[in-house]
Amino acid sequence: MGYIDLHVHSNASDGTMTPEEVVDCAAKAGLSAIALTDHDTTAGISKALAAEKKRRDAGLFAPAVIPGTELSCSWFHDGKETEIHILGLFIEPEQKDFKAFLEDMISARESRNSEILRRLAADGILLSMEDLTEGISDTVITRAHFASALIKRGYVSTVEQAFKRYLASGGKYCPLKKTVEPKDAVSLILKAGGFPVFAHPMRYHLSWREIEALTAELSGAGLQGMEVYYSSHTAEQSRRLRSLCRLFHLLPTGGSDFHGAKKPDIHIGTGYGGMRVSDLLLKDIIEFRANSSR
């Protein structure tokens, strides 16, 4: 049996490795497949696919690269807003509506980032674009990048301080982000030929009741998978999520949420060390997709 990792970041978003390095790292770990799932972008996919091909052409072992993305969404429920992530596996990056959606989100982000820079500068806190990108072009700048830059420039000493003082969304320095509802993200992923997955359901501080309500809502929109196996999930959590999958006819998926040196304790394929995701899950997904396109 082989092992896979269906949730991996590169420096196309907030991972530290290039897509090529991610592919090499997965090969070294002996994984038979990985999904590149950078936040709100598909920019790394062509590089990862090229790296896979290059290894194969050179007669080297290579993981199959599945083009993916991880969309940040806002779920409005019970009078509160919760950030929810939806993974899209097997996405077609060039699909018209999907591409337009990502471009729209990225341009909204760019305006927000400029506004944060402007508001900080007005209070004498000076950061440059270069402080944020750290020389990586094509990267999606998030508040995490602002936190690193604020530390590097000596305005704060910890990430926590940076978020508390300067980066609260909707606070003095940081406008609210343009959002998409998770059920609309599911529809967009389906439209782009993708397989929509409810990412790391335990990470949102929701009750099981709320997780069930959200799963029901997403199922109504065509959700197909749930991330049952994840670096921080306990065996009991995975078990409960598996029963939720059965209830809503979802296929289980699994991934580490690898970010390279940014989250050094999370290893590709094994998470904190104990996670293993069987390639049989991927076989089920591929079979399901073949059957539903017939």
**Binding site residues, ligand AMP, CB under 6 A:** 14, 72, 142-144, 159-160, 163, 169, 177
**20-56 burial code (b ≥16 CB/10 A, e <16):** bbbbbbbbebebbbbbbbbbbbbbbbebbbebbeebe
Which pair of structure tokens corresponds to residue 144? 């995490």
Residue 24 touches which of ligand AMP, Mn ion, none (CB < 5 to 8 A by kind)?
A: none
Report whether 184 contacts 148 (CB < 8 A).
no
Q: Which of 173, 254, 257, 271 binds Mn ion (CB under 5 A)?
A: 257
Which residue blocks in 33-142 are alpha helix, DSSP H?
A: 45-57, 96-122, 129-133
Q: Considering beta carbons, is residue 109 or 240 the nearer one to ligand AMP?
A: 109
Cβ proximity to ligand AMP: between 14 and 24 the closer is 14
Using rule CB under 5 A, residue 85 touches Mn ion: yes
Main-chain phi, psi angles of 62, to 5 degrees: -140, 140
Which tokens sit at 20? 């090529």
Stretch that binds Mn ion, among 65-73, 123-131, 226-234, 283-291 (CB under 5 A): 65-73
Q: Which residue has the tokens 């508001």?
A: 119
Assess 227 for contact with Mn ion (CB under 5 A). Answer: no
Nearer to Mn ion, 140 or 251 (CB): 140
3-class DSSP string for 152-198: HCCCCCCHHHHHHHCCCCCCCCCCCCCCCCHHHHHHHHHHCCCEEEE
| CB closer to ligand AMP, 47 vs 143 | 143
Beta carbon of residue 168, minimum distance to ligand AMP (angstroms, whole number): 8
Which among ligand AMP, Mn ion, none contacts residue 257 (Cβ within 5 to 8 A by kind)? Mn ion
State the binding partner of 85 from ligand AMP, Mn ion, none, CB within 5 to 8 A by kind: Mn ion
Query: Which chain residues interact with Mn ion by CB under 5 A?
Result: 14, 70, 85, 257
